[in-house]
Structures are given as structure tokens and as C-alpha cells.
Structure 1
Amino acid sequence: MALQTSAETPVPVSEVSRLIGGWIDRLGAVWVEGQIVQLSPRPGAGMVFLTLRDPSRDVSLTVTCYRQVYERVKDVVAEGSRVVLHAKPEWYARGGRLSLRAAEIRPVGVGELLARLEQLKKKLAAEGLFATDRKRALPFLPHRIGLVTGRASDAERDVLHTARERWPAVRFEVRNTAVQGVNAVPQVIEAVRELDAHREVDVIIVTRGGGGMEDLLPFSDERLVRAVAECRTPLVSAIGHEADAPLLDLVADVRSRTPTHAAKDTVPDVGEEHERIAQLRRRSRRAVDGLLEREERGLAGILSRPALAEPYTLVEEREEDTAHWLDRARRVLGHRLDRAEDELAHTRARVVALSPAATLRRGYAVLQRDGGGVVRDPAEVEAGEKLSARVAEGGFEVVVGPDS
């Protein structure tokens, strides 16, 4: 039944704490799974204190156990280990604190972890996070490289040394984070997002050295995988050794075998580039020389042809033909002009023969009246009428006589 209280009839704190303890006692012992984030096995103490956390929801509970319970598993569990506890909830009434009293601790087996990782891998693959077509190519020469790794770690030294040895002018933006344990996932996610938002960072490397399977578990965390999938900047994963395969390797744009290979995959070698340029120059020179030689041979072949070797021969042949046709054209034109001249003379003679002037030269005359009309009949004129007479050499006036 619910506790009946009011402002006038409150219950003491101790009573509330006692009731909470009673309700918790009724829960009984339960099996709990989580990750050990703090472990305090104090020497000589009969109790061991640890903190158990659910990484997926960021919820933690305090756990206590007797020394002998911890001694049975102390060689196989440590901070960062995933375990299953058989524990009973306990309420500390005086301090108002909830904890779990563990009667048994079992480390989560590797086989079970692998099965869970396989399920998560299939889930993320079905969402397309590992698809090849979403992976981006790395820039040939990055302006600045973002590096996420452990502080003063071998992985950090390997990447920086190898990259600067290959390309001395390379620049880095380093973010040191935890690379194992409970704080690794949130710190790596924060560093990746910070570098992804950096304008000058062209590629990000996330790396750490080798370790046990549990040490590499943060790099298979679903939250980290999704954060990397959301990155706009190409990302290189170099976790552990070549045999290690965290889920981060699958979502990254490039998976490198080791931190040293991550530097090699990201930064070109200046010596190799010099040699490649020299090879390209030699190939280009050979190609140009070969092209010039082919063109010179072709030009020599063209120049050896008769048309170019003795170009005036063709002109001379055409000159003779031109002179022949010119002479022929002149003769034909002359003949035509002669015939036209003869035809014109004949036509002129006929015209002259038929001309009235020719008739007048034979002694004839043309009589015209004052109005200009030609007299054709004597009856047309009268005696005493003046007429104009036209003869071959000129004209004169006549008067018609009475006997006409």
C-alpha cells in the first residue's frame, strides 16, 4: 500500500529510508551484466569495492563483495573487463545509498563477446555503414592530419616519426585520449568530432597499439562506429596489429595494418615522389623524342617525293601546255575574228547596195514637197509649185513647169 502522508503528518527520513530498504529487499538476487570501471581491492580489507557500468546507457552502480569472491576471479578481471554478477541489491539506510552485494563474479567469455560483436556487425552492415561506395579516397598530400591516440604511446611516436620521415613538412593536429577502459569511447568520439569540424584537417587517423580483445573493445563500440560514419573528413583506422579487426576498421575509409602503415597510407614518401617525377620526365622525354623522330622520318619521306624534290618539273610541264593552249586560243580567236570581219564586209556591201544613197549616185533624184512628203506621182504636183530635189551630192529647189 502507498504510504499515507501529508504536510501535517509527514514521516521521518529514517522511516522513508527503512521502507525503501524493504521494497529493495523484496527484489531478491539478480544476475547483472556490465563493465568494471573502478576496482579497489584494498590490501588486508575484507571487502572489495568496484563500480559496474552499462556503457550503452552510461548508468553505474556500486558493487561490493567479500574478499574471497574477488580472489576467485582476480587473475581474469580488471578495470575495463565485462562481467556478469550474481548480486543482491542492498540499501544502506543511514546514508541513503544503493549498492549490490555480489556473491559471484563471472567474466564474460570471449566467445560470447565475439557473438555479440558479430550481431552488432550484421546490424550495422544492414544499415549500410560498411558499404564500399560510401568510403572516400584519401587526399594525395593532406594539408594537416588529425591524430587520435593515447598520450605518449608507441602508436603516436610511430605515426609522427614515419610521417615526418616520409614528408618532413607534414603537420599534425594531435588529440590524446584514453584508448581502453570506460573513458575511451566518449573521449575518442569527442576528439573525432572536434577534428572533423577543424577546417584545416584533411584526414583523421585513429590508432592505438596492440592489446587483448577486451582492450580493443572500445573500438567496436556502436556509438564510436556511428560517430565515424557521420564524419565528413576521410578517416584511417589503425587499431592493434594486422590480426585485430575491430568494427572501427570496417566503417573507416581506409584500414591500415599498424600505426606505421597508417602514416604510410596517409603521407606520400618525398623520395619516392622525386623518383616518380624523374621517371615520368624520362618517359616524357623518350615519348617526345620518339614523336620527333617519327615526324622527321615522315617529313624526309615527303621531301624525297618528285613533286617536292624537283618542284619546277611540274611547272615546266604545265608551262609548255599553257603555251600550247594559249597559241591555239590565239589562232582560234584570230580565225573567228577574220570570219566575222568578212561577214561584216559582206553585210556592209549589201547594206550599201540597198541604200537610197546608192540609188541617188546612179543619177536618180528624190522630190519632196514643202511638207516633206515624197512626190511619187506627177498628178500630186501643180504647175508653179516649188519642190526640193535631193541628189547624191546635195539638194536644190525646182519649180514645176506648166507642161509637167
Structure 2
Amino acid sequence: MADVGETRPEGIEGSLLKGPFAVGEYAAALARQLRGFARVQLVGEVSNLRVSRAKVYWQLRDARGALDCAMWRTDFEALGLGPGVLADGAQVVVAGGTDYYPGSAQASPHFHFAVADLRIAGEGDLLAQVDRLRRVLDAEGLLRPQKRLPRPELPRTIGVVTGEGGKARDDVLAGLRRRGWEGRLVWAFAPVQDRHAAPRITRALQDLAAVGGVDVIVVARGGGSFADLLAFCDETLCRTVALLPVPVISSVGHHTDRTLLDDVAAVCCSTPTHAAEAAVPLHPGQAREALTASARRLSVHGRRAVLVRARHLASLSRVPAAVVARQRARLHQLLRELRASAIRRGMAERGRDVRVLGASLDR
């Protein structure tokens, strides 16, 4: 790309503005100006967090605005934050200053706030409150009772708590259809995002648990910011779920989101579809196919066994006739031998009588 400064054209006639300047020249000057701004500390909520090989990127937001932020990954790892501490919805304090990449003929320009240091906001912050409540529930043993409840392989009735008009409802139905499940479904619609959500969800769970025959309950909601999902970290809701006699499957937010309800529930799933499939561990469609195949094999083996035993019985039925025939032949042989023996004996006795008579006549 030719240097525009070498062949700089005339400016706009009548304009009082300076220039024209080459884009690269002005961009470099802008970068120097922005980097010269005072370095400050900002506080806000993390969103759209992503990690690359070299840097960690996120947006810092509040109700009045947002800034793209970036921090060298080596600096971020040196902070020693635990896994998942910096996540969407976290309230953080960052220190740094504005930075600007001028771009080039092949790369786009980019403005961001270069973060040099970071800390999670203090104990008054929502995330810290949630972590503290999680520790309290764990200490009281309320994270385990749901996980001990038996779950049927093929439930007859499934209860679902979700928003009436949300996409989560369709996802649950799609998951159950894919499973081939055709049991009874009981819906309990409740708001899933506002200050009324937690008590309404709690009441819906209690109502479903009171319905006779509900084998498992699914709580489903799509993704959102940490603030959107805060209702599912309500203490009363979590304590209610922990003490329910019916297993609860939680599917709140995306796979990167984690609420207290996920910790308390019997099973935590990443999507409503996955939750529906987890509610029916046995795949009815596959079970039907396996049963049909087993019945077919049983029929084939049954027919084969009948034929084998029929041949065996037929062979056994021929054995008595053969035995009788052998005995009859033996009896005939004995009779012939008996007759021959009688004839020989009679002839011998007659011969003896003739000799005796002859001897008498000679005297």
C-alpha cells in the first residue's frame, strides 16, 4: 500500500479543519493520545469472557455503558484466582488505562481498556454473597440429600418448572420426544427472571411434589447474565429443593453458568434438552427395539428347541418297536431250537427203546 503522505491530495475547499492527514499517521497520534490518558480504576460486571493464548478478554458493563477490556494472560494467571472466580456476572474492580491498536492494511483497529490489575469486588458483592451461602448450605449438609434420592429408570410422570413462553419449554419437549417417552407431563409455569421469580418457583416445586405420582421434577431456563439467573440462588428456594422428597433436575443457563440450585439439585444439566434426557435414563425407544429383537430371538430359539425335541421324541418312539422286534426274533429262534431239541430227544428215546426190544428178543 503506497504511503498516502507522499502524494497527499488537496483538502476540502472551504473547510477550516486541518489536514488531510494519512490514516496511519492520525491513528498513531490517536493511540498516543489515548495512552496518555490518566490510568484509573473501574468497577462493573464481567460479560462475554473469553480466553486466548495470549490475553483474557471481557466486557465491563453497568447500567450506563460498557468497555472492552483485555489483560495479558500471564498477568491474569499471576493473580492466583481460583477456577471460575472470574466469570460472566462477576463484579470486579480493574486498574489500567485506555489503549488503541491502529490496525493495518490487513488488521482492523481496536480500542480497549488495558487491565494491569484486577480483584473481585468485596463481600458485599453478589458473587461473594452467593459463595458464602453455598458454604453455609454445604456446612449444613444440604447439598447432598437430593443426590441420595433414587431416580426411576422410566418415570411415569415428570413435572417441569419453566417459563410459559420460553424456549426451554420447547427444548424439554424435544428431549422427551427424542427419548421416545410417552408418559404424563405436568407443567408448572413460573417467572424465571425477576424479583418475583424465586418465591413463585419455590411454590411451583412444592405444588408438583404434592401431586401424587410425580417421579422427577425438571427446572429449566435458558441462558442469561448472572443477574438474570440470580433467582436460582435464592436461599429459600435452595433449602426447599434440598428437602423435597422428589428428585429435582436443574438446567439453568448455559454450561458455563453455575447457580446454587445446580449444587443443591439431584442432577445438574447444561441444557433443558439434556435435562429431559436425564429425567428418563432408560431410552424407551431403544428399549422397545431391544425388547422386540429379544422376542424375535426367543421365538426363533423356541421353534428350534421344539423341533429338536420333536426329533428326539420321534427317535425315542422308534426304540420300543425295535426292542420288540429283536425280542420277537429271539423268541422265534428259541422256539426253533426248542422244537429241534425235542425232535432230537424223541428220536434218541425211540432208538434206545428199539435197542432194548432187540436185546430182549435175542434172549
Using the size of structure 1 for normalisation, the TM-score is 0.44
Structure of higher RCO (CA pairs closer than 8 Å, 6+ residues apart): 2
Which structure has the greater CA radius of gyration? Answer: 1
